Structure 1
Amino acid sequence: MPDNAARPLWTAAEVAAATGGVLAGDDAPIGGLTYNSREIAPGDLFLALHGARDGHEFAAAAFAAGAAAALVDRPVDGGPTVMVQDTLRGLERLGVAARDRAPHVRRGAVTGSVGKTSVTQAIKAGLDLAGPAHASIKSYNNHIGVPLTLARMPVETERAVFEIGMNAPGEIAPLSRFVAPHAACVTTVGPVHIEAFADGEAGVAREKASIFDGLVPGGTAVANGDVAFSGLLCDRARSVGARLAVFGAGPGCDARLIDFRPDAEGATVRAELFGRPLDYRLAQSGAHWGLNSLCVLLMLDALDVPLETGLQALAGFQPLAGRGQTRTVAVPGGAFTLIDESYNANPLSMAAGFRTLGARAAPGRRVVVLTDMLELGEHSRALHEGLAGPIEAAGLDLVHAAGPQMRWLYDALPASRRGLWRETAAELAAEAALLAGPGDVVMVKGSNGSKASLVAQALADLQNAEGAPSGSDAPRAAR
């Protein structure tokens, strides 16, 4: 909610005008929007959307919590309402109205198989330093999250960035057209949501590339030049008349990664940006952040943010929750380092995580704790078993795993690398004290739906736990 008492985000009458709805009741000022009645703040507009439950059932609770008005498609009691034919369509119209009433705003859009949320928030960090900025929160990147983020954009905003995701073909282009970005990027392409595409990664690549379809005339398309489908991305950008900017490690890239050196506090990057040599610091140590940072800098450049401002933002941008946050966990006999990558996982991010872990200095073992990767369809077994190669290449010492799909990886590992395997993440979390010992560096990674976060939290909770074992009984492997 904008902190501006003199100018509300909307008024109820403005919502009615933007959505083509009919206002019943007072023309109340509106400070924010939400579809979750449990998140209502006084002065919010409650969106009675239809989902697993009909939002209209919660309108009374929303008004009791202080909602100023409700967007509805059938009558409810309790306060002012804006009646529309369909509340989701109404939200979409409100988002477009928010975009169109602020034509001065420079807008960016982000998609990709890996790294969407982190890259979006890193761009937002740069936008914040450059002036009033707005961005997606959490992973609000779908058919509800994108128009909701637009509708929440204050008119005073100067720059904004929107995350755009997909679960099936045909979802990204319409969302990009809602945003009408001045710059759009594809962070990377890989086998994520692959079960929805008959032609596998090629289909994923085409869907990701469709983000460029929504660019305003003369907009900038930022593409990863290191992925197998970089040609497809670049061709799509050219086909819509976009200005193309490519990041990667190869010659000819507009933003070229030359060297990436992680350390305990982050990493040092050596690169070239439009032919200019750069050396800069990151607060992130993940190997994938070399390319991610170049993607961020190209997006910020396209959104008229000075390079020095972008570098300042990257130097201070910390890992997000479940996406690389690192902490020291004190246990009897010493401490271990916990890297929490539990929010999401796919073959690309797994391999990047293994490289990151393998590059970390560790007085003990480099241990990875994995739960199932989801939404891989018929490719799941091969992709899980295929993780054994990147684990070997990274030189990791020990693998603990949970879930029926991770069993395929576990069985593909040499005995020297096998730690514990359990049917569920909850079962593995119950044995957290056996997963790590003093001096170890432990990364937890898995799909959100396979509950990797339970294991990460259980390991964090070992902090000074009375009577916790030292970890000496955990399976150990030679280094």
Structure 2
Amino acid sequence: MNAITRILDWPLQDSDENPLVLWDAIAIARAVKGTANADFTVTGIEFDSREVQPGDLFFALRGETTDGHRFVDMALARGAAAVVVDRPVDGPHVLVKDTTEALVRLGAAARARSRAPIIGVTGSVGKTGVKESIFTALDRASRGDAHRSVKSYNNHTGVPLSLARMPARARYGVFEMGMNHAGEIAALTRQVRPNVAVITTIAPAHIEMLGSEEAIADAKAEIFQGLERGGTAIIPADSPHFERLRKAALRCGAQVIAFGKSAHADVRLLDAVPSLGGGSLVTVDLGDRRLCYTVAAPGEHWVMNSLAVMAAVRAVNGDLGAAGVALAEMEGLAGRGARVEIDVPEANGGGRALLIDESYNANPASMRATLAQLGRTDATRRIAVLGAMKELGKHADGYHAALAAPIIDAGIDHVVLVGPEMAALACELGKAAPSPLGKLVTFAHCASVEEAVDNLSAFGLRRGDAILVKGSNSVGLASLVTVLTK
């Protein structure tokens, strides 16, 4: 029997009997408590008119600064099959009282009709990468019938949008949930209603809004409140907040699975050694068996992320072999660890340099992890472009200044600091003594991304350099990445 015959003979699943169309007009109108003016079917859901594809259903949401109804004509011109509006318009539409509420209702209807195991993911660091890894593993094992939230659609509009996009045929669903205030994840998890809830790690992200790491842990633990009966909570065993998270999960009736290095971890790291290509060869004890697999993404933080992935896949009776293949193939995402070779100007001798793109987000824990990984990266020179870490409030100066030690420990040659919050780090680096080998870190403090680009140009990239770009998204370092890659 050849491979094609085996695929064609793959056993049918109950979900294979569900329709291929995502939604039809009758189902949408019933779900959102609206009125459809025409008969239509849709193959996708969108609330950004610039992203509309033929066959999509466009939700005209009202925002703080704009009204999606202004873009209804654009959405229809781009091929939208219909629009959801709060006033009659020309073209196929569903009329509702409130379009945002309608999106939440459609997401709830998608969740209600699904029989797929649902995994919810949150955490201060690594939630998008873990979400993508779990999805890739389950998608591979289910012949493309897994679904997940794309990009970072993890807030009060992104979560219901991602739910509404889930096909009735999906055999797994993976959803990311984010927050910067207490109570936000509680609302999101009750929409997602996960069977498995994963917390990647707890770190001082959004501490300005929440005040302490303990409060951050409590806010993340809200994800357990939406767990379906008999659900599973997956938490970091090595976290100083482990007991706090465990008790929160138990209060919600969850089965707790811990991952990490600690002796009490259910998914316990036994060994991790560098592998060819910069990743890690990982050995894990699952209690009743041991696994050995490769993680393509470099860094100890990705080793720990892989344990959470394995725990989640096993919790939904997924294929651990497929999970191992997914981790071996997955490299960094754009803005979250992607590694790209860039051209060095001929004036500097030509050749190639390595760009590590971490421009999407930053907090004290992720900064330390990526700086340490830069220090382990084989390079002629190591350069770090670091943007300010936002939402740290009164703790900002201390957390920024504390980055001086990991910068020095990593043996970084030149640092470009961007944003006013980086003044505290610039002060620390200015006071730093030379390393035991007499090496002194050079640095520049820039007010803008444009100044940072100029500084890098003046510093002069060379063949074999490794350049880390990391900062909070609002700093805008993605535009510096664009300059370097072009």
Q: 2:87 aligns with which of 74, 80, 89?
A: 74
Q: Which residue of 1 aligns with 2:259?
A: 247
* C-alpha distance in structure 2 between counterparts of 1:417 and 1:341, whole Å: 21
Q: Which residue of 1 aligns with 2:450?
A: 426
Q: 1:311 aligns with which of 305, 324, 327?
A: 324
Residue 423 of structure 1 aligns with an amino acid whose one-letter code is A
Q: 2:296·2:328 contact (CA, 8 Å) conserved in 1?
A: yes
Once the two structures are aligned, what percentage of the paired residues are identical?
A: 44
Deviation per residue, 1:314-349 (Å, 9 max, x gap): 111121011111123332434322211111111010
Instruction: Confirm whether residue 359 of structure 1 aligns to residue 384 of structure 2.
Output: no
Q: 2:354 aligns with which of 337, 343, 354?
A: 337
* C-alpha distance in structure 2 between counterparts of 1:37 and 1:458, whole Å: 27
Measured after TM superposition, the shift of residue 208 of structure 1 is 0.3
Instruction: Confirm whether residue 32 of structure 1 aligns to residue 41 of structure 2.
Output: no
Q: 1:49 aligns with which of 38, 58, 61?
A: 61
Structure 1 residues 57 and 335: CA distance shift in structure 2, 3 A: closer
Measured after TM superposition, the shift of residue 267 of structure 1 is 1.8
Instruction: Confirm whether residue 440 of structure 1 aligns to residue 465 of structure 2.
Output: yes
Q: After the TM superposition, which of the residue ranges 152-161 and 265-274 deviates more from structure 2? A: 265-274
Residue 296 of structure 1 aligns with an amino acid whose one-letter code is V
Q: Normalization by structure 2: what TM-score?
A: 0.90
Correspondences of 1:379-458 after superposition (within 5 Å): 379-413=395-429, 414=432, 416-433=440-457, 434=459, 436-458=461-483
| Structure 1 vs Structure 2 CA RMSD | 1.8
Q: 2:419·2:475 contact (CA, 8 Å) conserved in 1?
A: yes
Instruction: Confirm whether residue 218 of structure 1 aligns to residue 230 of structure 2.
Output: yes
Deviation per residue, 1:210-259 (Å, 9 max, x gap): 10111101111000111221111111111111110001111110111233
* C-alpha distance in structure 1 between counterparts of 2:384 and 2:191, whole Å: 40
Aligned residue pairs, count: 453
Q: Normalization by structure 1: what TM-score?
A: 0.91
Instruction: Confirm whether residue 368 of structure 1 aligns to residue 394 of structure 2.
Output: no
Q: 1:284 aligns with which of 297, 320, 328?
A: 297
* C-alpha distance in structure 2 between counterparts of 1:18 and 1:6, whole Å: 17
Residue 432 of structure 1 aligns with an amino acid whose one-letter code is L
Q: Which residue of 2 aligns with 1:294?
A: 307
* C-alpha distance in structure 1 between counterparts of 2:241 and 2:409, whole Å: 24
Q: 1:11 aligns with which of 24, 27, 36?
A: 24
* C-alpha distance in structure 1 between counterparts of 2:482 and 2:147, whole Å: 31
Residue 436 of structure 1 aligns with an amino acid whose one-letter code is L
Q: 1:176·1:213 contact (CA, 8 Å) conserved in 2?
A: yes
Residue 278 of structure 1 aligns with an amino acid whose one-letter code is L
Residue 84 of structure 1 aligns with an amino acid whose one-letter code is V
Q: 1:62 aligns with which of 67, 75, 94?
A: 75
Structure 1 residues 226 and 205: CA distance shift in structure 2, 3 A: same
Measured after TM superposition, the shift of residue 457 of structure 1 is 2.7
Q: 1:430·1:458 contact (CA, 8 Å) conserved in 2?
A: no
Q: 1:99 aligns with which of 92, 104, 111?
A: 111
* C-alpha distance in structure 2 between counterparts of 1:435 and 1:85, whole Å: 58
Q: 2:140·2:322 contact (CA, 8 Å) conserved in 1?
A: yes
Residue 70 of structure 2 aligns with an amino acid whose one-letter code is E
Correspondences of 1:155-194 after superposition (within 5 Å): 155-194=168-207
Residue 326 of structure 1 aligns with an amino acid whose one-letter code is R
* C-alpha distance in structure 2 between counterparts of 1:308 and 1:162, whole Å: 22
Q: Which residue of 1 aligns with 2:12?
A: none
